[in-house]
């Protein structure tokens, strides 16, 4: 630590001189300013894709740790190194990483059987290719796949399906791609493990899995209805049958879903393991284990019984996102150590007073907007300690945690970079069909949906709060 | 889980392309009635006998005919050998009717070549399948020749019925019917017939039909520099290269999976990358015992024909050419 301080001494003394007096009792301002700036710079690098987001998060974490060690931010217990704090940040959120690794393996193996693709094509055949039925079917299927497969695999399957069938039917793919990109964020709200922000907040708040069915699932469906109505209206001119309707129906009927099946037996085994894993999630609390244990057990069983090559399946785990989380957790943990997030929480508490409604009016739109600009995962990571501080200050936990879950997921809707769902769907559209949806077009649809979903979430939370419908945490 | 790669997208797109472009093909119903086993007097014969009986029973054949083709006049020792094997066949044939004979040679005429005798007999008795042993020898493979021996070469060239070649004489050879391997790259126009045989031989609940498709990336890599570019991993769409994303192969997969579902037989698609024959043989080695079923072009100068010849030569497992 001394070496670091010596190294940075000239910079620190200059910065200390320039910094205002500490505004939080017992907390120096300089670390807040320096490490807060590192946080903002990292988020900007993620938002504007200056670097790959994993690299940006790791780089931000390294710079933040160096600064924190230099400024003496970490508090070491007697006989311990200050640096141990970094390990504690990662250890604190190890559960989230465990869930991601376990479900990645399970979903990869189950998806490899080709039966999710089979289900998707069969669903399209049921619509007979009629746009009036196809659009809601695509949205419903997206929500369904995201609910059980998580957001990235669900969106990959549905985006690919949309691009292939619209090409075959000579339809414009944009309305369907928008339905996938935006519907997926509603799907991420459905259960504990459907979306990463949901998982992070649910883990931090220790929300039992079954509570999601009571609070989050109805909101997910309501938000999807709003999104559907707006997309249906915005693209009404594109959602008409082109060409001969009879020939179109015949073309759809000729799609052969059996060409997608790689192995039925693997599917049945994985479907059983996936089902058991979901049941395990629901009863994890009663079983006295974490969701990470359930997810890793599911992943291990899939490796054991699927006949898949173990190394191939493990290689498919999205390691970049794991590194992204490691960097993010260290960065946010370090910022939290400076007390900056306490300051922000105190500011919100000061404005809201003891009014929960006012607090919701501040948090929900704020999270919606920032999640739309940055990426909803870092926003969730930043907001978790802030909400925790507000709860410590006397606010009821349930409305705050549920609002955060809703706003972080739906907050990805207004912009093309707000959520991984939009990034995947729009990339697929541009790469495979050469169609680019600009910020303007996306904002018109996504922005309108967000403008309607913000009041929906506020009213929904207030309604649940006033009627005492939130299950107690 | 929250990230994706271009490979993921390409794979998923190719899968759906297959569903949209797969031609609707039907696997024909086959009812083989007579199986001809042509012995050659080597130590391969017991294995060929065991496998023929297993194949005939699973295929629902009614009759099995045994012969011993050799050039020159009849020899008592060889006739005795044939009679002994016929007795052995009767003992283990179950419900099969068993017969044995040598082709009729008119008095005074020069005995025809062995392969002619077999082909003649197959025609006379309306055989639906010819089974023939052909010793598997490592050192023979290492010679690098394309030939599999005159008789087998000629049978492959002139046959009008499917041909089952029994290679290495391993114990309990009938267990190879638990893993029926269909190389999609080699089945050519006979794909549906190959699948018909595969599903005819597959026992529900115990057998697996493996559809193996190989993306020949080495071939692509070899021509890429000439085309002015190198091939990067993410440029390669395995499903597309293996032929599974479009056309006949996609249609065959669909037909196979539909039939597998109807019969409750396990059917697994495996995609491999590399040189097709090497990959196919590597895949067969991963199974404990297997039977390879393949189509074969009629023209002996066709690439596919030479590949099938090479497959028979290099495979220690039995190969059925439809």
**Structure pTM?**
0.79
Contacts of B18 in chain A (CB under 8 A): 259-260
Of B15, B250, B258, the CB nearest to A117: B15
Higher pLDDT among residues A407 and A81, named by residue: A407
CB A151 within 8 A of CB A421: yes
Task: Quick: pLDDT tens for A397-454.
Answer: 999 999 999 999 999 899 888 888 998 899 899 988 999 998 899 999 999 999 999 9
Tokens matching residue A254: 């000729």
Q: Which residues in chain B are closer than 8 Å to A151, comparing Cβ atoms?
A: 1-2
Least confident of A161-175, B61-75, B229-243: B229-243
Inform me whether the pLDDT recorded for B47 exceeds 60.
yes
pLDDT value at position B245? Answer: 67
Phi and psi (nearest 5°) for A280? -60, -40
Q: DSSP class of residue A263?
A: B
Q: Which residues of A touch B24 (CB under 8 A)?
A: 254, 256
Residue B152: its pLDDT value, please?
Answer: 86
Please give the average per-residue pLDDT across A267-287, as a whole number: 87
Any idea what the Cα angle at residue B17 is, between residues B229 and A303, rounded to 5°? 90
| Interchain contact B22–A (C-beta under 8 A) | yes
Terminal CA-CA length for chain B: 44
pLDDT score for A18: 39
* Token output for B322: 């439809």
CA-to-CA distance for A155 and A445, rounded, in angstroms?
19
> Which chain B residues touch A117 with a CB distance below 8 Å?
12, 15-16, 19
Q: Give the residue-averaged pLDDT of B201-228.
A: 74
Average pLDDT of the segment spanning A21-45: 81
Full DSSP string of A381-415: HHHHHHHHHHHHTT--HHHHHHHHHHHHHHTTSSS
d(CA A313, CA A320): 16
Our CA angle for A154, A160, A164, nearest 5°, is 145
- Quote the pLDDT of residue B145: 56
> Residue A173, SS3?
coil
In the block, residue with structure tokens 């997910």: A220
Q: Considering only CA atoms, give the Rg of chain B.
A: 21
Q: Chain B residue closest to A108 (CA)?
A: B1
Nearest to B22 among A153, A256, A266 (CB): A256
Q: What is the pLDDT of residue B231?
A: 46
**Residue pLDDT, tens place only, B284-299:** 998 888 999 999 988 8
Query: What SS3 class is residue B272?
Result: strand
Interval B243-256 mean pLDDT: 81
Q: Which of A260, A321, A432 sits opposite B1 (nearest CB)?
A: A321
Question: What pLDDT is recorded for position B144?
Answer: 57
Query: Does B1 contact A196 at a Cβ distance shorter than 8 Å?
Result: yes
pLDDT digits (tens, 9 = 90+) for A92-127: 888 888 988 898 888 888 877 777 888 899 999 999
pLDDT grade for B237, boundaries at 50, 70 and 90: low
- Which residues in chain A have their CB less than 8 angstroms from residue B250's CB? 256, 259
Interchain contact B202–A (C-beta under 8 A):
no
Question: Is A164–B13 a contact, with Cβ atoms under 8 angstroms apart?
Answer: yes
Three-state DSSP at A199 gives helix
- Cβ atoms of B209 and A263 within 8 Å: the answer is no
Q: Which of A317, A417, A247 is nearest to A99 (CA)?
A: A317
More confident residue, A217 or B190: A217
Q: Tens of pLDDT along A68-78?
A: 999 999 987 78
Angle at A183 between CA A179 and CA A188, to 5 degrees: 155
Closest-approach residue (CA) in chain B for A157 = B12
Helix, strand, or coil (residue A6): helix
Q: What SS3 string covers B16-45?
A: HHHHHHCCCCCCCCCCCCEEEEEECCCCCH
Q: Say if the Cβ atoms of B12 and A420 lie within 8 Å.
A: no
Residues in B closer than 8 angstroms to A420, CB to CB, are 2-4
- The CA distance from A152 to A240, in Å, is 29
Interatomic CA distance for residues A256 and A386, integer angstroms? 51
Is B266 touching A (CB cutoff 8 A)?
A: yes
Give the pLDDT confidence score for residue A17 in this predicted structure.
41
Of B9, B251, B255, the CB nearest to A156: B9
The whole-chain average pLDDT of chain A stands at 88
H helix or E strand, kind and range, residue A1: none
Note the pLDDT tens digit of each residue in B141-189.
Answer: 666 555 667 788 888 988 999 999 998 888 899 999 999 999 988 876 7
Buried b (16+ CB within 10 A) or exposed e, A142-164: bbbbbbbbbbbbbbbbbbbbbbb
Q: Is the pLDDT of residue B217 over 70?
A: no
Tokens of A155: 């969106």
- The string of pLDDT tens digits covering residues A158-211 is 999 999 999 999 899 999 999 999 999 999 999 888 888 998 999 899 998 889
Tokens of A157: 């399957």
| Angle (nearest 5°) at CA A232 between A230 and A234 | 65
Q: Are B16 and A161 within 8 A, CB to CB?
A: yes
Cβ-contact B184, B211 below 8 angstroms: yes
CA–CA separation, A127 vs A71, rounded Å? 62
Q: For residue A18, count other CB atoms closer than 10 A to its CB.
A: 9
* Cβ contact B4–A254 (<8 Å): no
What is the distance between the alpha carbons of residues A445 and A90, in angstroms, rounded to a whole number? 38
| Cβ–Cβ below 8 Å for B3 and A318 | yes
> Cβ contact (<8 Å) for B269 and A262?
yes
Calpha distance A298→A436 (Å, rounded): 39
**Residue A407 corresponds to which tokens in the numbers above?**
């706003």
Check: CB of residue B20 under 8 Å from CB of residue A171. Answer: no
Nearest to B1 among A259, A264, A318 (CB): A318
Question: Pairing relation of β-strands B208-215 and B266-273?
Answer: parallel
Interchain pair B19, A427: CB under 8 A: no
Beta bridge partners of B319: B165, B292
Pairing of strands B319-321, B34-39: unpaired
Q: How confident is the model at residue B138 (pLDDT cuts 50, 70, 90)?
A: low
Q: What is the pLDDT of residue B23?
A: 86
Residues 6+ away with beta carbon under 8 Å from B228: none
pLDDT, residue A25, reads 56
Specify the pLDDT at position A11.
41
Cβ of B13 within 8 Å of Cβ of A432? The answer is yes
Report the residue of chain B nearest A421, measured CA to CA. B2
A160/B253 CB distance under 8 A:
no
Q: Would you give the DSSP letter of residue A79?
A: T
Per-residue pLDDT averaged across B192-203, rounded?
95
pLDDT, tens digit (0-9, with 9 covering 90-100), for B96-127? 888 888 776 666 677 788 888 899 889 989 99
Number of H helices, E strands in chain A: 23, 0
- Separation of CA B321 from chain center: 4
Q: What is the pLDDT of residues B11-27, one digit of tens each?
A: 788 888 888 888 888 99
Residues in chain B with CB shorter than 8 Å from the CB of A317 are 1
Structure ipTM over 0.95, yes or no: no
DSSP B151-213: HHHHHHHH-SS-EEEE-S--TTGGGGGGEEEEETTT-GGGHHHHHHHHHHHPPTTT-EEEEEE
Position B166 scores a pLDDT of: 92
> Is it the case that residue B62 has pLDDT exceeding 70?
yes
State the count of interchain CB pairs (< 8 A) between A and B. Answer: 121
Contact with chain A for residue B142, Cβ under 8 A: no
Distance CA B96, CA B56 (A): 8
Weakest mean pLDDT among A43-47, A83-87, A372-376, B2-6: B2-6
CA-wise closest residue to B293 among B204, B207, B170: B207
Closest partner CB to B254 (pick from A160, A258, A266): A258
Distance (Å, whole) CA A377 – CA A90: 16
Q: Which of A157, A248, A254, A256 to mutate to test the interface with B (most CBs of B within 10 A)?
A: A256
> What chain A residue is nearest to B25 in terms of C-alpha separation?
A256
Q: How far is CA B143 from the centre of its chain?
A: 23
Alpha-carbon distance A424 to nearest alpha carbon in chain B (angstroms): 7
Please enumerate in sequence order all residues whose Cβ is within 8 A of that of A226, keeping only pairs 6 or more positions apart, or say none: A449, A452, A453, A456
Most B-contacting residue of A258, A262, A317, A424 (CB-CB within 10 A), to test interface: A258
Residue A322 has pLDDT above 90, yes or no: no
Shortest alpha-carbon distance between residue B20 and chain A (Å):
5
Instruction: Judge: A262–B268 Cβ closer than 8 Å, yes or no.
Output: yes
* pLDDT for residue A67 is more than 80: yes
Give contacts of B267 with chain A, Cβ < 8 Å: 261, 263-264
Question: Cβ separation of B20 and A262 shorter than 8 Å?
Answer: no
- The answer to whether residue B17 neighbours chain A at the CB level (below 8 Å) is yes
Chain B hits for A163, CB-CB cut-off 8 Å, are 13, 16
- B62: DSSP letter: S
Judge: B1–A153 Cβ closer than 8 Å, yes or no. Answer: yes
CB of B268 less than 8 A from some CB of A: yes
Query: Most B CBs within 10 Å: which of A98, A99, A260, A417, as the mutation test of the B interface?
Result: A260
A263/B269 CB distance under 8 A: yes
Find the radius of gyration of the CA atoms of chain A: 23
Angstroms from A258 CA to nearest CA on chain B = 4
Distance CA B321, CA A34 (A): 74
Residue A423 near residue A153, CB atoms below 8 Å: no
Concatenated DSSP letters of A419-470? SHHHHHHHHHHHHHH-----HHHHIIIIIHHHHHHHHHHHHHHHHHHHTT-S
- A7-30: pLDDT as tens digits: 444 444 444 443 343 345 567 889
pLDDT bucket at A1, cuts 50 / 70 / 90: very low
Nearest chain B Cα to A97, which residue?
A: B1
Q: Do B16 and A264 touch (CB under 8 A)?
A: no
The most distant pair of C-alpha atoms in chain A lies apart, rounded to whole Å, by: 79
Residue in chain A closest to B243 (alpha carbons) equals: A259
> Mean of the pLDDT values across residues B84-91?
81
- Residue B234 sits at the chain A interface (C-beta within 8 Å): no
**Is residue A172 helix, strand or coil?**
coil
Model pLDDT, residue B299: 85
pLDDT higher than threshold 90 for residue B230? no
* Model confidence at A292: pLDDT above 80: yes
Query: If you average pLDDT over residues B269-277, what whole number do you get?
Result: 86
- Please answer whether residues A420 and B2 qualify as being in contact, where contact means their C-beta atoms are separated by less than 8 angstroms: yes
Looking at residues B231-237, what average pLDDT do you find?
51
């Amino acid at each position: 630590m001394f070496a670091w301080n010596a190294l940075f001494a000239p910079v620190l003394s200059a910065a200390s001189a320039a910094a205002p007096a500490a505004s939080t009792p017992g907390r120096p301002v300089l670390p807040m300013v320096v490490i807060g700036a590192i946080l903002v710079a990292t988020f900007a690098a993620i938002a504007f894709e200056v670097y790959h987001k994993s690299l940006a998060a790791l780089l931000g974490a390294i710079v933040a740790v160096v600064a924190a060690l230099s400024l003496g931010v970490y508090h070491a217990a007697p006989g311990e190194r200050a640096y141990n704090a970094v390990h504690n940040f990662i250890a604190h959120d190890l559960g989230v990483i465990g869930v991601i690794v376990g479900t990645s393996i399970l979903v990869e193996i189950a998806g490899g059987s080709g039966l999710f693709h089979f289900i998707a094509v069969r669903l399209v055949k049921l619509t007979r290719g009629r746009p009036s039925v196809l659009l809601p079917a695509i949205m419903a299927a997206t929500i369904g796949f995201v609910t059980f497969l998580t957001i990235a695999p669900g969106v990959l399957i549905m985006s690919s399906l949309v691009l292939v069938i619209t090409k075959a039917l000579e339809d414009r793919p944009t309305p369907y791609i928008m339905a996938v990109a935006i519907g997926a964020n509603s799907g991420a709200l459905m259960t504990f493990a459907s979306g990463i922000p949901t998982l992070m907040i649910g883990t931090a708040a220790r929300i039992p899995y079954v509570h999601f069915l009571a609070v989050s699932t109805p909101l997910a469906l309501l938000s999807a209805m709003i999104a559907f109505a707006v997309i249906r209206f915005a693209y009404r001119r594109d959602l008409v049958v082109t060409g001969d309707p009879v020939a179109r129906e015949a073309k759809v009927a000729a799609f052969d879903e059996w060409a997608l099946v790689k192995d039925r037996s693997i599917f049945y085994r994985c479907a059983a393991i996936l089902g058991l894993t979901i049941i395990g999630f629901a009863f994890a609390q009663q079983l006295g284990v974490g969701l990470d244990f359930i997810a890793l057990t599911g992943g291990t069983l899939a490796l054991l019984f699927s006949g898949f090559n173990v190394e191939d399946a493990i290689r498919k785990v999205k390691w970049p996102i794991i590194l992204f989380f490691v960097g993010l957790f260290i960065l946010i943990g370090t910022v939290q150590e400076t007390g900056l997030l306490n300051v922000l929480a105190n500011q919100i508490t000061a404005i809201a007073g003891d009014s929960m409604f006012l607090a919701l009016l501040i948090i929900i739109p704020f999270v919606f907007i920032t999640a739309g600009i940055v990426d909803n995962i870092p926003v969730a990571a930043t907001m978790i300690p802030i909400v925790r501080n507000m709860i410590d200050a006397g606010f009821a936990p349930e409305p705050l945690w549920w609002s955060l879950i809703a706003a972080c997921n739906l907050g990805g809707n207004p912009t093309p970079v707000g959520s991984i769902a939009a990034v995947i769907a729009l990339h697929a559209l541009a790469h495979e069909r050469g169609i680019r949806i600009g910020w303007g077009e996306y904002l018109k649809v996504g922005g309108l949906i967000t403008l309607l979903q913000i009041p929906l979430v506020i009213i929904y939370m207030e309604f649940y709060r006033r009627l005492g419908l939130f299950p107690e945490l | 889980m929250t990230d994706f790669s271009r490979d993921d997208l390409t794979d998923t797109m190719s899968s759906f392309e297959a569903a949209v472009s797969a031609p609707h093909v039907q696997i024909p119903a086959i009812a083989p009635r007579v199986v001809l086993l042509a012995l050659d007097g080597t130590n391969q014969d017991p294995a060929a006998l065991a496998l023929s009986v297993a194949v005939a029973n699973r295929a629902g054949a009614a009759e099995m005919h045994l012969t011993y083709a050799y050039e020159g006049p009849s020899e008592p020792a060889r006739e005795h050998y044939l009679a002994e094997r016929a007795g052995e066949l009767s003992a283990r044939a179950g419900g099969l009717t068993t017969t044995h004979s040598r082709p009729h040679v008119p008095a005074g005429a020069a005995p025809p070549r062995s392969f002619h005798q077999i082909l003649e007999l197959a025609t006379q008795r309306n055989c639906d399948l010819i089974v023939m042993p052909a010793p598997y020898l490592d050192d023979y493979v290492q010679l690098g020749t394309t030939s599999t021996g005159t008789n087998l070469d000629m049978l492959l060239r002139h046959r009008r019925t499917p041909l089952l070649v029994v290679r290495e004489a391993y114990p309990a050879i009938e267990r190879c019917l638990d893993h029926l391997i269909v190389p999609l790259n080699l089945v050519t126009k006979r794909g549906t017939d190959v699948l018909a045989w595969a599903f005819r031989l597959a026992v529900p609940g115990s057998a697996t039909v493996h559809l193996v498709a190989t993306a020949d990336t080495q071939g692509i890599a070899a021509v890429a520099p000439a085309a002015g570019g190198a091939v990067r991993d993410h440029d390669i769409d395995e499903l597309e290269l293996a032929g599974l994303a479009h056309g006949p192969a996609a249609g065959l997969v669909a037909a196979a999976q539909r039939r597998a579902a109807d019969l409750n037989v396990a059917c697994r698609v495996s995609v491999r990358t590399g040189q097709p024959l090497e990959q196919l043989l590597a895949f067969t080695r991963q199974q404990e015992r297997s039977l390879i079923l393949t189509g074969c072009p009629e023209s002996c100068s066709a690439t596919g024909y030479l590949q099938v010849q090479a497959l028979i030569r290099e495979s220690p497992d039995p190969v059925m050419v439809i």
